[in-house]
Amino acid sequence: MTVSHIQPIAALPREVVERIAAGEVIERPASVVRELIENALDAGATSVRVELREGGLGLIRVTDDGWGIPAEALELACQPHTTSKIAALADLDAIGSLGFRGEALASVCAVAEVEITSATDESGLAATITLAEGHVTAQGHTARSRGVTVTARALFAASPARLALLRGPRTETAQAFAVVRAYALIHPAVRFTFVADGALVFSTPGTMLAEAAQAIYGATIARTLLTIEDRPIGEGARLSGAIASRATHFANREHVTLAVNGRPVTNRALLSGLESGYRPLLRKGRHPLAVVALQVPAGALDATVHPMKATVLLRREREISAALREAIHETLGQAPLSVGQTIHDGASVYMARPVQLTLPKGRARWPGLRRTAPGTSADATDEAPEKTLPDLTPLAQFGNALILAQSPQDSLYLVDQHRAHERILYERLMQQRAALTDKTPEGAESATGQALLEPLLIELTSSQAAILAPRLPELRALGLDCQPFGGSAFLIRAVPHLTGASASPASFAEALAQEAAEEGDDWLGAVCVSLACRCAIRRGEELSLAQQRELLADLRGVSASSVCPHGSPLLLRYTQSALAHAFEW
């Protein structure tokens, strides 16, 4: 924070008050928690403790070790529009603090009984103030170390309408938990402690993001985290964070934490940049675990639009979103394969303990099996995720659909033959496409096509034809030679040639052209997925051991060997210890 604690607390001038979005700041216990945490962070705290009782209706208490509020300013700080963070209109364009509206303490005092203790130095002397319905009821002294404690009791006791809108204590605690969790992840250098109804929920060490994530999510999830290295993304903006590998995913966005300049925010553009970075590694409807912190120059955002400051207007939103997608792509591209360690939905909304999804713990390795992995130490654990797909030896085919295979570490693999082949063909197509679009933008000279004996005439609707026409050069680059034939008719002369394909694209050339005529940004990607899917070995086909071996060898060469192009898993790994556990050996 660039706030200086030397600034006195003062009432904001009218023109500033009028510029700031007016509105309800305190909706529920979680809003109180958010405001008090922001005040603590603005005061340079290195430790923030949040305590809740009965979902916050019993008590909300936030304790920090920041620079404190001077005794003589305590009463003023609780008045509306009094702040030490900005003084004039011009300051609104360069806000370096989380707070600036000067409304939070006043709003909390209006709906709860509030007690504040504050010490501005280490003399041990602290001032106290108690307010009820916004009026001071007591003032005094007490002893404490530097910092501020704000305790709010009887929240909304005088506003039954507000109370009626609240959910049960469990849900309110969960909401507050989500708030504390977000700030703890975004400010890992600050120690955060969250206590609900007397039980410690989590406590972060005040070091790095990886450690904060471990304290909150547990070691199993933290191990799957990949660091997004801090990087400049133009015009003074920077991006950093950590994301879980595709092995960890959830049914909702609860575990996506986006921050702009230290504050958790919701922003559609950022969210879509993040999620498109994961595509197609995550199936539709699944959401990652991610913490992404964006730092932009103060002038590049307008935080004044939302009373709770949760929504921000970002300048260069598109560029920033694209940079985020790029960063996710790159980070996931280096991700280790975590087959058999898939983690999802283990976490209920509110966790009394950190999410701990323990994998079956095996006893001793099982002695009867050979171990051929060179350089594998005796105590190497087979629970560790593998960096790349190991060299798999096929054992048999099951149901003409799955290849059973063994790794040098004696893990058992089940490989879905269709999806594996689909992935291989898809990556081949993507390479072809990249090579050809590099060479000739027109792609007309593509040598990949396989000429049809008889050209195929297809008839599209006029809107399909309008979409398809400008895409023809790119389709030719893939090997699909499709030419206008008057009106909305087209003539297909050649189809893509895919080495190792199980079906000829000639059989579905028309369907392919139809798909290429569909709206969408990544239409070419969609065509490639469809092409790979239709040409891949089907489930139900019998494969010789040699064919199985070839498929597994090809699979080792792909970049994302654990999911098919649609994002579904294509292999399962059973470690020895998982088997030992299941059999109770």
84 belongs to the binding site for Mg ion (CB under 5 A): no
Q: Closest distance between ligand ADP and the C-beta of residue 35, in Å?
A: 6
Task: Tell me the two tokens of residue 360.
Answer: 């079956």
Residue 194 binds which entry of ligand ADP, Mg ion, none, CB below 5-8 Å type-dependent: none
**Nearest distance in Å: CB 38, Mg ion:** 5
Considering the rule CB under 5 A, would residue 26 count as an interface residue with Mg ion? no
Q: Is residue 65 a contact point for ligand ADP (CB under 6 A)? A: no
- The residue within the footprint of ligand ADP, chosen from 57, 100, 174, 301 (CB under 6 A), is 100
Written as six digits, the tokens of 242 are 């950590």
* Residue 118 vs 432, nearer CB to ligand ADP: 118
* Residue 320: half-sphere exposure toward Cβ, Cα within 13 Å: 27
Q: Does 68 bind ligand ADP (CB under 6 A)?
A: yes
* Residue 287 touching ligand ADP (CB under 6 A): no
Q: Pick one of 49, 57, 65, 84: the residue that binds ligand ADP (CB under 6 A).
A: 84
Closest-by-Cβ residue to Mg ion is: 99
In angstroms, what is the minimal distance from the CB of 313 to ligand ADP? 19
The pair of structure tokens assigned to 22 is 């007016």
Give the pair of three-digit tokens for residue 10: 């003062």
- Please choose which of ligand ADP, Mg ion, none residue 9 contacts, taking the beta carbon within 5 to 8 angstroms, the exact cut-off set by kind: ligand ADP
**Total residues at interface with ligand ADP (CB under 6 A):** 25
Examine residue 39 and tell whether it contacts Mg ion (CB under 5 A). Answer: yes
214 neighbors 235 (Cβ within 8 angstroms): no
* Shortest Å distance, C-beta 75 to ligand ADP: 11
CA distances from 184 to 19, 37, 79, 279 (A): 30, 10, 28, 28
Pair 383, 394: CB distance under 8 Å: no
Look up residue 407 and give its two tokens: 């790794």
Q: Which of residues 90-119 bind Mg ion (CB under 5 A)?
A: 99, 104
Shortest distance in whole angstroms from residue 214 CB to ligand ADP: 27
Q: Calculate the dihedral angle through the C-alpha atoms of 34, 35, 41, 45, rounding to the nearest 10 degrees.
A: -100
User: Which tokens sit at 69?
Assistant: 């509020």
Q: Which of 31, 63, 83, 411 binds ligand ADP (CB under 6 A)?
A: 83
By CB under 6 A, residue 307 contacts ligand ADP: no
Nearer to ligand ADP, 67 or 413 (CB): 67
Does 99 help bind ligand ADP (rule: CB under 6 A)?
yes
Q: Which is nearer to Mg ion, 97 or 245 (CB)?
A: 97
Minimum distance from residue 28 beta carbon to ligand ADP (Å): 17
Q: Which residue is nearest to ligand ADP (CB)?
A: 99
DSSP string computed for 195-256: EETTEEEEE--SS-HHHHHHHHH-HHHHHTEEEEEEEE-STT-EEEEEEE-TTEEBSSGGGE
**Minimum CB distance to ligand ADP smaller for 35 or for 275:** 35
Q: Which does 16 bind (CB under 5 to 8 A by kind): Mg ion, ligand ADP, none?
A: none
CA–CA distances in Å: residue 484 to residues 332, 460, 528, 568: 41, 11, 21, 36
Tell me, rounded to whole angstroms, the distance of Cα 205 from its chain centroid: 22
The CA-based angle 409-410-411, given to 5 degrees, is 95
* H-helix or E-strand spanning residue 119: strand 113-119
- Shortest distance, CB of residue 225 to ligand ADP, whole angstroms? 31
Q: Which does 66 bind (CB under 5 to 8 A by kind): Mg ion, ligand ADP, none?
A: ligand ADP
* Residues 29-48 within binding reach of ligand ADP (CB under 6 A): 35, 39-40, 42-43
Using rule CB under 5 A, residue 220 touches Mg ion: no
* Residue 260 interface partner, choices ligand ADP, Mg ion, none, CB cut-off 5-8 Å depending on type: none
Contact assessment for residue 176 and residue 50, using Cβ atoms and an 8 Å cutoff: yes
Answer yes or no: are the C-beta atoms of 578 and 360 closer than 8 Å. yes
Q: Which of 29, 55, 56, 66 binds ligand ADP (CB under 6 A)?
A: 66
Measured distance CA(286)–CA(345) in Å, rounded: 10
Q: Does 49 bind ligand ADP (CB under 6 A)?
A: no
Instruction: Please state, in angstroms and rounded to a whole number, the distance separating the CA atoms of residues 219 and 211.
Output: 9
* 64 is a contact residue toward ligand ADP (CB under 6 A): yes
CA dist., res. 75 & res. 478, Å (int) = 72
Q: Which of 28, 34, 49, 101 forms a contact with ligand ADP (CB under 6 A)?
A: 101
Q: Does 20 bind ligand ADP (CB under 6 A)?
A: no
182 or 225: CB nearest Mg ion: 182
**Token pair recorded at residue 73:** 């300013």
Q: Distances in Å between the alpha carbon of 497 and those of 10, 397, 536, 548?
A: 74, 28, 13, 22
Q: Tell me the Cα Rg of the chain.
A: 30
Binding site for ligand ADP (CB under 6 A): 9, 35, 39-40, 42-43, 64, 66-69, 77, 82-85, 99-106, 148
Binding site for Mg ion (CB under 5 A): 39, 99, 104
